[in-house]
Amino acid sequence: MQLTFHVQGGDFTRAGDASSQVKKTLKQLNIDPSVTKRVVVALYEAEVNIVAHAHRGVITADIDPVRILLRLEDEGPGIPDIELAMQRGFSTASAEVREMGFGAGMGLPNILENADRFHIDSVVGKGTTLTIAVNLQPCP
Amino acid sequence: MEQQAFHHALKIRHDVCTGCSHCMKVCPTEALRVHGGKALLYPVWCIDCGECHRVCPTRAIVVEDDDFKDIFRYRRRILLIPSIFIGQFGATVSRREIMDILLHLGFTDVREAEHSVDFLIDEINRYLQTHEKPVISSFCPAVTRLIQIRFPALVDHVLRLKQPLEVTTEYFRQWYARQGVDPADVGIFYLTPCAAKIASIKAPVGDYASPIDGVINMNYMYNRVLQERGKELPATTHETQVSARGMTWSLTGGEVRHIDGKGLAIDGIENVVEFLERIENDEISGVDYLELRACDESCSGGILTPYNRFLAAECIRLNAQAQASANDAIDEYRQYLSGAIDVGQIRPRSMVKYDLDITKALQKMEKARELKRALPGVDCGACGAPSCEALAEDIVRGQAAVEHCIFIQTRSEKQGLLPQEQAIKIMEKIWGKEKIDECAIRDEEMKTYQTERHIIK
């Protein structure tokens, strides 16, 4: 099953809509709550990244009985140094974004922590694509 | 993910129910449908919040309480009253008079349900030091059940300590035993402002049995007090033993103001749901304690409270000003009950929307999404389900048919796919033959309402 969401850069009032919908879906499928929580946290961080940094983006969530595959493709500035961006506390967020309680530099590290697979593709000046996979069966 | 029957304090009287669907529209877990002209309850999804009872115009939703006569099975008949009860009378009946009447009606002792609050505050603050935040209060049983069903990921945040009513009951059981009263003679009854408390007594959440012997409906006792009022009754002696903190505990904000750390008080079931969604998403940090109550104005808005909830709360706040700040019995509580008020494990009671098998669940969900796109999205309720989404889910579960949708029906009739008699039968099956027949207007009258303007030929 596939869900698709469109995200507008700078629209903080709607940041979290996609993760809320995905959460609702996983709950209705009776996915283990600890797994659902990891998916929601990873997706929320990635969704906020699009809102805070990019112009716009498309999120797709592909759910099969084994795993959920999230793909977040944005049009935006891209990430010049992915290794640096992955460091805890590193952030390029503007002062305004930080004032709203975002941009603490925990987004990408948090996604990595909650994902079973995580991949970043980025082209400076064009955009970034994140691929996040989470296994739906909890680890024994 | 269990699917078993649960005790519910709310029952639908099908001899009274007219199938008006008011209840179906307000249920926070979408546990109600209309079929055969009557409201139907999916018991596994019901949390006993009583929102359905509140809106029922024919009083077809009733609360199953215990028979008042049950109290006479015991020699010592103890009534535990919540402070909310005294608030029901405003300034019209004095506390003294209320007590005299309760004792005259057959109780041998009246005690305050919130007697244990001062002890409990210390226990909660100690609990907070060692548990993951935010800790969610388990004071409101409807909220605890809501979390079990709709927010299973949060069950570990629910406070696993017994609530004032239960701790007070255990204290007094021991107290009477110490006074030399035979425990078999002691019957402890609770005067309840809501259905959720009844459910929590008959079927507690956790691994323990409730220490309470029976439940009396507050509406019933309110009427009894008013009926007996003004009669010459022998004066009794009754000292109020509850502290100011205990007296205001069940009002909104009653818990959080005594909790160490940052607390938030939220009342009203919709507000609670909205906040729990955010907690579940990890969007909120820095909150230590959440006091969540299903009813607006907390227990003074309970479904079995007759008086205006704002005036009742105000009355209780005024009464509390005259009370001591802490209860004298706190040392005894510490001595006898410290460390002994754990409720054990609280388990999720997830709603199985589609199937326990994920492959089947995904297939059904896919179908439901497809169906939902075909439905009009107006949530009119004419199909007997609370929303188009709920109807789509019911269809894939085999509990409804797509022709139940009045829009689909009209379209099918237009296309000649559904004979008119069939369409009528469907509506009669949902709403009952009587309801369709009742809508009859005499032919000549009908004409006066039908104007060219409104009928498109």
Token couple for B82: 């919540």
pLDDT (tens digit, 9 = 90+) per residue, B51-101? 999 999 999 999 988 889 999 999 999 999 999 999 999 888 988 899 999
Rounded mean pLDDT of A45-72?
Answer: 94
pLDDT (tens digit, 9 = 90+) per residue, B255-266? 999 999 999 999
**Nearest 10 degrees: CA dihedral of B279, B285, B290, B292?**
-30
Q: Which of A123-137, B2-16, B81-95, B309-323 has the lowest mean pLDDT?
A: B2-16
Rounded mean pLDDT of B106-112?
Answer: 96
Q: Do A30 and B358 touch (CB under 8 A)?
A: yes
Strands B10-12 and B109-112, how do they pair? unpaired
- The reported pLDDT for the residue numbered B282 is 80
Rounded mean pLDDT of B96-114?
Answer: 94
Rounded mean pLDDT of B378-393?
Answer: 96
Q: Which residue of A has its CA nearest to B359?
A: A65
**B274 interface with A at CB cutoff 8 Å:** no
- The reported pLDDT for the residue numbered B326 is 81
**Nearest 10 degrees: CA dihedral of B351, B353, B356, B358?**
-130
pLDDT (tens digit, 9 = 90+) per residue, B115-126? 999 999 999 999
B389 phi and psi angles, rounded to 5 deg: -60, -45
**Nearest 10 degrees: CA dihedral of B333, B334, B338, B340?**
-20
Interatomic CA distance for residues A86 and A108, integer angstroms:
6
- The reported pLDDT for the residue numbered B451 is 62
Look at residue A122 and tell me whether its pLDDT is greater than 50: yes
- The reported pLDDT for the residue numbered A94 is 78
Interatomic CA distance for residues B1 and B41, integer angstroms:
20
- The reported pLDDT for the residue numbered B320 is 94
Look at residue B14 and tell me whether its pLDDT is greater than 90: yes
Q: Which residue has the higher pLDDT, A3 or B237?
A: A3
Interatomic CA distance for residues A76 and B240, integer angstroms:
68
Give the nearest partner residue to B282 out of A27, A41, A65, using CB atoms: A41
User: Rounded to a whole number, what is the distance in Å from the CA of B301 to chain A's nearest CA?
Assistant: 30
Q: Which segments of B338-442 does DSSP mark as H helices, in order?
A: 358-374, 388-396, 406-414, 420-431, 433-438
Contacts of B23 (CB under 8 A, 6+ apart): B32, B39, B51, B52, B53, B55, B56, B61
Residues from chain B contacting residue A28 (CB–CB below 8 Å): 351, 353-354, 361, 365
Residues from chain B contacting residue A16 (CB–CB below 8 Å): 281, 283
Q: Is the dihedral of CA B149, B154, B160, B161 positive or negative?
A: negative
User: How many residues in chain A?
Assistant: 140
Q: Other C-beta atoms within 10 Å of A10: how many?
A: 15
Rounded mean pLDDT of B281-293?
Answer: 91
Q: Which segments of A4-133 does DSSP mark as H helices, in order?
A: 17-28, 33-53, 82-85, 95-99, 107-114
Residues from chain A contacting residue B397 (CB–CB below 8 Å): none
A-proximal residues of B, 150-169, CB under 8 Å: 152-153
Look at residue B207 and tell me whether its pLDDT is greater than 60: yes
Q: Which residue has the higher pLDDT, B161 or B281?
A: B161
Look at residue B344 and tell me whether its pLDDT is greater than 50: yes
Q: Which residue of A has its CA nearest to B152?
A: A33
Sheet strands side by side (includes B263-267): B135-136, B289-293, B263-267
Q: Is A7 exposed, middle or buried (0-12, 13-18, 19+ CB in 10 A)?
A: buried
Q: Is B203 exposed, middle or buried (0-12, 13-18, 19+ CB in 10 A)?
A: middle
Confidence class for position B230, pLDDT limits 50, 70, 90: confident
Q: At what angle do helices B95-104 and B218-228 cross, to 10 degrees?
A: 100
Q: Which residue has the higher pLDDT, A121 or B353?
A: A121
Counting residues of chain A whose pLDDT is more than 90, the rounded percentage is 66
Confidence class for position B2, pLDDT limits 50, 70, 90: very low
Q: Do A44 and B353 touch (CB under 8 A)?
A: no
Residues from chain B contacting residue A41 (CB–CB below 8 Å): 281-282
Look at residue B40 and tell me whether its pLDDT is greater than 90: yes
Interatomic CA distance for residues A79 and A60, integer angstroms:
21
Strands A2-8 and A67-75, how do they pair? unpaired
Mean pLDDT of chain A: 89
Look at residue A101 and tell me whether its pLDDT is greater than 80: no
